[in-house]
Chains A and B, each alone.
Chain A
Amino acid sequence: MFSETTQPLWALVPSLLAIPLILATARRPNLRETWTLLAALSQCAVVLSMLPWVLEGHVIESTLWSLAPDINLSLRVDPLGFLFALVASTLWIVTSCYSIGYVRGTREKHQTRYFASFACCLTATIGIAFSANLLTFLLFFELLTLTTYPLVIHKETKAALSAGRKYLAYTLPAGLTLFGAICWTATTAGNLDFVAGGFLSTKHGTAETLQLIFLLFMIGVGVKAGVMPLHSWLPSAMAAPTPVSALLHAVAVVKAGAFGVLRVTGYVFGPELLRDIGAWTALAWFAGITLTMASLLAIRQDNLKRRLAYSTIAHLSYTVLGAALLSPWSWTGASLHLVFHATLKITLFFCAGAIYVNTHIENISDMAGIGRRMPVTMAAFAVASLGLVGFPGINGFASKWSLALGSLEAGQGVFLGLLVLSGVLNASYFLPIIHAAFFKTNPAFDRVAEASPWLVAPLVITATISIVWGIAPNLGAHAVDLAMLIATSVTGEHSG
C-alpha cells in the first residue's frame, strides 16, 4: 500500500480528504481547524518521505487511469516537481496556523468555505507539481484557477468581486490558450509526457509553428506567473485576505505559473529546441523587462500588499529568466528561487497581515514607527526584505548568485546588469519601510503590541528558515542538490 509508486497518490490524499471533513464540521470551528492542520502535517510528511528516492535519482511514477487514447492520468515525482510540492506543502502548515489566527482575529465570515477552498487549492497545487504529462497538468492547473476564485472574492466586497472577475478574465483565457497549445502538441507530437530535456524537436514542425506553440504555452502559464503584460490581475487579487495572498499569491498560484514555465521550457521544448527556434531570447527579454518594470512600479505603491504584489511579479520573473537562459547555473538559480522566494515573500505577507489585524493599517505611509511596537514582526520583515534584495546570509542571495552565474554562463551579461539593477530597486522599495518603521515614532501606536502568537510564530519560523538556508542552503530539504539535479537533467550539463 505504501510502496514507492503509490506515494505520489498518498500525497494528494490528505488535502483531498480534508475537504469533506472541513465541510462536515462547519459548526465546530476547533475540530474543523484540526482537520486543516492534520492534513497539512501529513501532506508534508508524505512529500518529505519521498526525498531519499528523489535524491537517489529515482523518478517515481504512478499511473491512475487513461484520460484519452494514449494519455493517462498519471503522477510523476521528479526533482522539480518534488521541490515545488515540498515548498507548497511545508508552507501550507505555517499558513494554516497563520490563517487560524488571522480569520479569528479579523472575524472573517464564511470561514468553512475559506478552509475548504484552501484544501482544494493545495490538492490542485500538489497535483500540478506531480503531473506526469501536459493533460494531467492542465487538469490540475484549471482546478487551481477554479478553487482559488472563492478565496479571491472571499470578502465579497465590491473590490473583491471585481478582483475576482479580473482574475477569471485573465486566468480563464490563459487556461484555454494552454488547452489550445496542448491540443496542438498532442496532434503534432502524439505524446504529452514530460521528458527532462524536452520531447519536441525540429521534426515536429517548422520553426514558425513551434514558435507559435511556444507563445501559446507561455501565454497559458505566463498569466499565473505574472509575466508582463499579463500581470495586472495579481495586484488586484490582493483584495483577498492576507493569508490567501500569502500562500496563493506568493506560493501556490503564482509559483504554479513559474513552475509551468520551467516545465514547458525544460520538459516539453528543451534547451536544444529553444535555441534552434530562438524562442529563448524573447522569453528572457520579457522576463528581464518584467523584473525591472515591476520593481519600478513597486516603488510607487503605497498599499503594502500591492507593493508586495509587484515585488512578487518581479521575483517570479527571476525564475522565468533563469529558465529562459537555458544554462546549468541559470536553471539551478531558477529552481532555487522558486523555493527561496517563497519563504521570503510569505514572511512579508505574514507581516503585512499581522500589522493589519492589529492596527487595520494597509498603507506604508501610515506605518512609520510600527517597528518599535511590533519589533519581532518588523524584524522578520527586515530579514525577508534583505533576502529579496540579495543580502548575503539570507537565502535569496544563493538563488540570485546562481542566476548571476547563469547569465554569465549563457554569455548574456546584460541580464546580470538587470539583476543587479533589480537588487538596487528592491532595496529602494523595501529599505524605506524598515527605516521608517524603526527610526520614526508615532504616538498613535502607543497601545499597539505584537499580534497573537498564531500570527507571530509562523512569520518567525519562515524568517528563521530563510536565515538558516541563507547560511546553509542545502540543509534539510537538500534544495541545492535538488536544484542541481534539475539543472543537470534538463540541460544535460553539470553546473559548478
Chain B
Amino acid sequence: MTWSQLPILTPVVLLVGATAVLLTGRIRPSLAHRLATATCASCFAIAIALAVQVHHHGPTHYALGGWSPPIGIELVADTLSVYFLLVITGIALLVMVGAAPAVERDTPGRSAEFFAISLIFLLGLSGIVLTGDLFNLYVFLEISSLSAYTLVSSGDERAGVAAFRYLIVGTIGASFYLLGLGFLYSVTGTLNMTDMAMRLDPAAIPVRLAAVMITVGLGLKMAIFPMHRWLPDAYTHASSTATALIAPIMTKVSAYVLIRILFFVFGTSMVSIDLPIAQAIMWLSVAGVLVGSTMAIAQTDLKRMLAYSSVAQVAYIGVGIGLATPLALAGALLHVISHATMKCCLFLVVGAVELQTGNRKLSSLSGIGRKMPWTFAAFTAAAVAMIGLPPTGGFFSKWYLVLGGMATGEWWVVIFVLGASLLTATYFFRLLESIYTRQSSELAPIKEAPLAVALPIVILGLAVILFGLFNSRILDLFLRDAMPPGLVISG
C-alpha cells in the first residue's frame, strides 16, 4: 500500500500544530509545550512512515491542489529528502521534549509564541527538503529564515542586533537565490526541478550565471567561509533552545539545497567540469574548517566556541560536496546526521548548564562533570565525535571524506583532515580537562538536570556512537539511494 499524501502531511501537521499551540497558549499556557512536543513527535512518525514507503516503493510524488507538474507544484519525497526530513524532525523532537523550563525562563509569558514559531520554522525546513519546485523552495526558505530570525531575537540583550544582522545577510542570500532562479526561468520556462534538469543547456551564459548566483546565495545561508560572519553572533546570543534547534539543522538544510540544485538540477559534470563551482566550494570550505576551528580555540564563551565549531563542521560538508565523488558525498551526508546529533547534544548541554548554574563561561565549568555526570558523559561522547575519533559518527564521515578525496588523487585531504582534527582536539580536550578535573566551590549545590532535559541529551550522546558503529546501515538504507545521478558508491 502506498500513501501518496504522506509528503504533504508533515507541513500540514506543523501548520495546524503551530496554530493550535498559539491558541492553546491563550487559554492554558502549560498545554502549549505538550502540544508542540506532540506535533514534533507526530512529524517524526510521519517521517519514518515516509522513509519506509520510499524505501519500499521508491520516490513518492504529490501534486499540490491536483495540478500536475510541471505546471503545478509537486512535492517529491525521495531518499535524499526523507533522510534530511528524519534528521530535521528527529532533532526537533529531542529539542522540544526538554525545552519547557528554558523557554519559560528566556521568554517569560510568551512561550506559546516561541513554540508556535519553532513549528513554523520546522514547517519551512521540511518544506524545503520535500518540494520538487524551485520557486516553492524559495518560499519555504523564506518561511524558515524569517522564523529563524524571530527565534534568534528571543535571546539575550544583544540578540536583537545579531538577529538583524542575520536577517540582512539571510535576505541577501535569498535574493541571490531568487535572481539566479529568475535567470533559469527565463531560459527554461519551468520551475519544476526534474523538468528544468532536462531543459538546461549547461553552456548557456544565463545558466552559468544562475549557477554562480545560487551557489553564493546558499553559501551565505550555509555560512561557507568567508560568508560565515553572521553565524557566531546569531548562535551565541539566541536563547539556548533556539540555538539547539537552529544550529543542528538550519545550515544542513542549506547544504541539502546546494546538493539538490548542483547535482540534481545542474548535474555533476556541469558544476565540477564545465564550471569550477565544486572546486570553489571545496577550497572555501577548507579555509572555513581551518578558520572556524582556529577561532573556536580563541573563545572564552562555551556557546560562541560551539558556534565557531559549527562553521568548521558545516564546512566539512562543503568539502564533501566540493570533492563531488561518491564516497566524499557519502561522507558529507553522513556528517549531516552525525554533526546534527553531536551539535544538538552539545548545545542542549549548554542549555542544561545555563539552567542549572545560570552561567556558560568556560571558566565556570570547572569540575561540573562530576556534578552532572549523565549530561557530561553525553557531552564527552559528542566532543569525541567532533574531534572525529572512532567509533563515533564523526570518525566515519571523515573516513569517507578522505577515501573519496584519495579516490581522485586529492591526497591533501588526508593532511587537511589531520590538521583540522588536531585543532578540534585542542579546544575540546582543554574543555574536557577542566570539566572533569578542576574543583570549584561555587558548584557545590549544582545538581543533575531534570529528566526531561537530561534524557534527550543522553539519547543524542548514545546516537553519536551508534551512528558511528552502524554507519554502514545508514549507508545502505539511505546514502546509496540518495546519490545524485551518475555517482555510485561501490562495494
Within 8 Å CB of A65, what residues of B?
Answer: 469-470, 472
Residue B168 is within 8 A (CB to CB) of chain A in the complex: no
Residue B109 is within 8 A (CB to CB) of chain A in the complex: no
Q: Judging by beta carbons under 8 Å apart, are B390 and A138 in contact?
A: yes
* Centre residue among B384, B406, B472 by max chain A CB count within 10 A: B472
Within 8 Å CB of B491, what residues of A?
Answer: 69-70
Residue A3 is within 8 A (CB to CB) of chain B in the complex: no
Chain A: which residue is nearest B415 at the CB level? A180
Residues facing B in A181-195 (CB within 8 A) are 183-184, 186-187
Q: Judging by beta carbons under 8 Å apart, are A161 and B437 in contact?
A: yes
Within 8 Å CB of B417, what residues of A?
Answer: 176, 179-180
Within 8 Å CB of A176, what residues of B?
Answer: 417-418, 421-422
Q: Nearest Cβ distance between residue A189 and chain B, in whole angstroms?
A: 12
For the complex, give the distance between the alpha carbons of A165 and B384 in Å. 16
* Centre residue among B389, B403, B406 by max chain A CB count within 10 A: B389
Q: Judging by beta carbons under 8 Å apart, are A68 and B396 in contact?
A: yes
Q: Which of B403, B429, B437 contacts A156 (CB 8 A)?
A: B437
Q: Judging by beta carbons under 8 Å apart, are B422 and A172 in contact?
A: yes
Residues facing A in B401-423 (CB within 8 A) are 402-403, 406-407, 411, 414-415, 417-418, 421-422
Given A142-B390, A175-B389, A180-B414: A66 in contact with B472 (beta carbons within 8 A): yes
Given A161-B437, A173-B422: A168 in contact with B403 (beta carbons within 8 A): no
Interface string of B387-404 (1 = CB under 8 A from A): 101110000101110110
Within 8 Å CB of B429, what residues of A?
Answer: 165, 168
For the complex, give the distance between the alpha carbons of A186 and B396 in Å. 14
Interface string of B439-476 (1 = CB under 8 A from A): 00000000000000000000000000000011110010
Within 8 Å CB of B489, what residues of A?
Answer: 69
Q: Which of A69, A73, A153, A177 contacts B433 (CB 8 A)?
A: A153
For the complex, give the distance between the alpha carbons of A66 and B469 in Å. 9
Interface string of A101-113 (1 = CB under 8 A from B): 0000000000000
Within 8 Å CB of A67, what residues of B?
Answer: 396, 469, 471-472
Within 8 Å CB of A156, what residues of B?
Answer: 437
Residue B490 is within 8 A (CB to CB) of chain A in the complex: yes
Within 8 Å CB of B414, what residues of A?
Answer: 180, 183-184
Q: Nearest Cβ distance between residue B331 and chain A, in whole angstroms?
A: 11
Residues facing B in A132-164 (CB within 8 A) are 138-139, 142-143, 145-146, 150, 153, 156, 161, 164
Residue B425 is within 8 A (CB to CB) of chain A in the complex: yes
Q: Nearest Cβ distance between residue A72 and chain B, in whole angstroms?
A: 9
Q: Nearest Cβ distance between residue A132 and chain B, in whole angstroms?
A: 15
Q: Judging by beta carbons under 8 Å apart, are B437 and A69 in contact?
A: no
For the complex, give the distance between the alpha carbons of A150 and B435 in Å. 12
For the complex, give the distance between the alpha carbons of A150 and B369 in Å. 13
For the complex, give the distance between the alpha carbons of A186 and B400 in Å. 11
Q: Nearest Cβ distance between residue B329 and chain A, in whole angstroms?
A: 14
Within 8 Å CB of B469, what residues of A?
Answer: 65, 67, 73
Q: Which of A142, A168, A187 contacts B406 (CB 8 A)?
A: A187
Q: Nearest Cβ distance between residue A146 and chain B, in whole angstroms?
A: 7
Q: Which of B389, B403, B425, B472 contacts A183 (CB 8 A)?
A: B403
Q: Judging by beta carbons under 8 Å apart, are B472 and A142 in contact?
A: no
Q: Judging by beta carbons under 8 Å apart, are A68 and B422 in contact?
A: no
Within 8 Å CB of B389, what residues of A?
Answer: 142, 145-146, 175
Q: Which of A69, A73, A142, A150 contacts B490 (CB 8 A)?
A: A69
Q: Nearest Cβ distance between residue A62 and chain B, in whole angstroms?
A: 16
For the complex, give the distance between the alpha carbons of A143 and B469 in Å. 13
For the complex, give the distance between the alpha carbons of A365 and B420 in Å. 46
For the complex, would chain A's binding face be called helix, strand, loop or mixed by DSSP majority?
helix
Q: Which of A69, A73, A138, A183 contacts B475 (CB 8 A)?
A: A69
Q: Which of B387, B396, B400, B402 contacts A180 (CB 8 A)?
A: B402
Q: Judging by beta carbons under 8 Å apart, are B384 and A146 in contact?
A: yes
Within 8 Å CB of A138, what residues of B?
Answer: 390
Within 8 Å CB of B475, what residues of A?
Answer: 68-69
Q: Nearest Cβ distance between residue A385 and chain B, in whole angstroms?
A: 35
Q: Nearest Cβ distance between residue A125 and chain B, in whole angstroms?
A: 16
Q: Which of B407, B411, B418 contacts A177 (CB 8 A)?
A: B418
Q: Judging by beta carbons under 8 Å apart, are A183 and B406 in contact?
A: yes
Q: Which of B407, B436, B471 contacts A68 (CB 8 A)?
A: B471
Within 8 Å CB of B490, what residues of A?
Answer: 69
Within 8 Å CB of B471, what residues of A?
Answer: 67-68
Q: Judging by beta carbons under 8 Å apart, are B425 and A172 in contact?
A: yes
Within 8 Å CB of A66, what residues of B?
Answer: 472
For the complex, give the distance between the alpha carbons of A161 and B399 in Å. 31
For the complex, give the distance between the alpha carbons of A184 and B403 in Å. 8
For the complex, give the distance between the alpha carbons of A150 and B471 in Å. 28
For the complex, give the distance between the alpha carbons of A66 and B468 in Å. 11
For the complex, give the distance between the alpha carbons of A172 and B469 in Å. 20
Q: Judging by beta carbons under 8 Å apart, are A183 and B402 in contact?
A: yes
For the complex, give the distance between the alpha carbons of A69 and B437 in Å. 40
Q: Judging by beta carbons under 8 Å apart, are B422 and A187 in contact?
A: no
Q: Judging by beta carbons under 8 Å apart, are A179 and B418 in contact?
A: yes
Interface string of B353-390 (1 = CB under 8 A from A): 00000000000000000000000000000001001011
Q: Judging by beta carbons under 8 Å apart, are A153 and B422 in contact?
A: no
For the complex, give the distance between the alpha carbons of A173 and B402 in Å. 16
Q: Judging by beta carbons under 8 Å apart, are B418 and A187 in contact?
A: no
Q: Which of B398, B425, B436 contacts A168 (CB 8 A)?
A: B425
Q: Nearest Cβ distance between residue B58 and chain A, in whole angstroms?
A: 23
Within 8 Å CB of A69, what residues of B?
Answer: 472, 475, 489-491
For the complex, give the distance between the alpha carbons of A187 and B384 in Å. 25
Q: Judging by beta carbons under 8 Å apart, are A139 and B421 in contact?
A: no
Q: Nearest Cβ distance between residue A157 and chain B, in whole angstroms?
A: 10
Q: Judging by beta carbons under 8 Å apart, are A68 and B433 in contact?
A: no
Within 8 Å CB of A164, what residues of B?
Answer: 433
For the complex, give the distance between the alpha carbons of A293 and B398 in Å. 38
For the complex, give the distance between the alpha carbons of A223 and B48 in Å. 46
Interface string of B79-99 (1 = CB under 8 A from A): 000000000000000000000
Within 8 Å CB of A173, what residues of B?
Answer: 418, 422
Q: Judging by beta carbons under 8 Å apart, are A143 and B425 in contact?
A: no
Q: Judging by beta carbons under 8 Å apart, are A68 and B437 in contact?
A: no
Q: Which of A142, A153, A186 contacts B437 (CB 8 A)?
A: A153
Q: Judging by beta carbons under 8 Å apart, are A68 and B399 in contact?
A: yes
Q: Which of A143, A145, A146, A187 contacts B403 (CB 8 A)?
A: A187
For the complex, give the distance between the alpha carbons of A462 and B429 in Å. 37
Chain A: which residue is nearest B400 at the CB level? A68
Q: Judging by beta carbons under 8 Å apart, are A183 and B437 in contact?
A: no
Q: Judging by beta carbons under 8 Å apart, are A187 and B433 in contact?
A: no
Residues facing B in A35-80 (CB within 8 A) are 65-70, 73
Within 8 Å CB of A165, what residues of B?
Answer: 429, 433
Interchain residue pairs with CB less than 8 A apart (12): A67-B471, A68-B396, A68-B471, A142-B390, A164-B433, A172-B421, A172-B422, A176-B418, A180-B415, A183-B402, A187-B403, A187-B407
Known: A142-B390, A179-B418. 17 other contacts (CB 8 A): A68-B399, A68-B471, A69-B489, A69-B491, A139-B390, A139-B391, A143-B390, A156-B437, A161-B437, A164-B433, A172-B425, A175-B389, A177-B418, A179-B417, A184-B406, A184-B411, A187-B406
Residues of A within 8 A of B (CB): 65-70, 73, 138-139, 142-143, 145-146, 150, 153, 156, 161, 164-165, 168, 172-173, 175-177, 179-180, 183-184, 186-187
5 nearest A-B residue pairs (beta carbon): A69-B491, A187-B406, A139-B390, A66-B472, A180-B414
Residues of B within 8 A of A (CB): 384, 387, 389-391, 396, 398-400, 402-403, 406-407, 411, 414-415, 417-418, 421-422, 425, 429, 433, 436-437, 469-472, 475, 489-491
